[in-house]
Amino acid sequence: MKILVAVKRVVDYNVKVRVKADNSGVETANVKMAMNPFCEIAVEEAVRLKEAGKAREIIAVSMGPASCAETLRTALALGADRAIHVETDAELQPLAVAKLLRSIAAAEQPGLVILGKQAIDGDNGQVGQMFAALMGWPQGTNAYKLEVGGEELTVIREIDGGLETLRLRLPAVITTDLRLNEPRFASLPNIMKAKKKELAVKKPDELGVDIAPRVATLKVEAPAGRSAGIKVGSVAELVDKLKNEAKVIQ
């Protein structure tokens, strides 16, 4: 089985996000970037399936500017066999990403596509579902546990009040949740080997996809600052302030 894994380059989760001075978006210049944490989990799960003899090849895919090649090299160092970079400086919205993935999947014919359930920058959580709908494939979202057996895939996912078990027929689409696994670190030898692995570069036009945005961002603002807290001397004073100042109790 061939596995296709989508990865995204985002602002590192340890970095405090800042809004641009003109409120047009989030500042990314001179900011540490990294692979989206949910995408790291997707890559790890694909590598584990290959190590278990369930897959023969892992293809990492990323879409965005030239700097995304660095994220793909990370995926190759973690265990992917080759990579495809759809290079564009244009803003990519979830539907455009799903259509680009559909074109790549049509050419590669994977048996399984694994994505992170969401990216920590946009928090849309839409690409996996849109891609599955475009392909007409079954999907297992927010996967907590994954088991492959023959032509079927068992997905356990967390829901309100417990766990839900899904049985899907391959080919299928999976989006990963945090508890699915713990990603490994790329070793120095594997980082060096990754530099020699194949990384193909394609353009959206080559894939026949219109990536024009369908939604316009008018303004991006940071949340309002919170005022400093105060200390009270007694429970009676606390109740008085909650009642007369904050007006959250009657």
pLDDT-derived band at 3 (thresholds 50, 70, 90) equals very high
pLDDT-derived band at 150 (thresholds 50, 70, 90) equals confident
Residue 15 has what pLDDT? 87
**Interhelix angle for 68-78 vs 37-51, to 10°?**
30
The mean per-residue pLDDT over the stretch 207-229 comes to 86
Residue 46 has what pLDDT? 96
| Predicted TM-score of the model (pTM) | 0.85
- Per-residue pLDDT of 175-190, as tens digits, reads 999 999 999 999 999 9
| Residue-wise DSSP of the chain | -EEEEE--EEE-TTSPP-B-TTSSSB--TT--EEE-HHHHHHHHHHHHHHHTTS-SEEEEEEEESTTHHHHHHHHHHHT-SEEEEEE--S---HHHHHHHHHHHHHHH--SEEEEES--TTT----HHHHHHHHHT--EEEEEEEEEEETTEEEEEEEETTEEEEEEEESSEEEEE-GGG--PPPPPHHHHHHHTTS-EEEE-TTTTT-----SS------PPPPPPPP---SSHHHHHHHHHHTS----
The mean per-residue pLDDT over the stretch 38-65 comes to 95
pLDDT: which is higher, 97 or 230: 97
What are the φ/ψ torsions at residue 136 (nearest 5 degrees)? Answer: 75, 30
Least confident of 53-57, 68-72, 101-105, 147-151: 147-151
What are the φ/ψ torsions at residue 170 (nearest 5 degrees)? Answer: -70, 150
Rounded Cα distance between 35 and 185, Å, is: 12
CATH-assigned architecture of domain 2-218: 3-Layer(aba) Sandwich (3.40)
Domain ranges of the chain: 2-218
Sign of CA dihedral 27, 30, 31, 33: positive
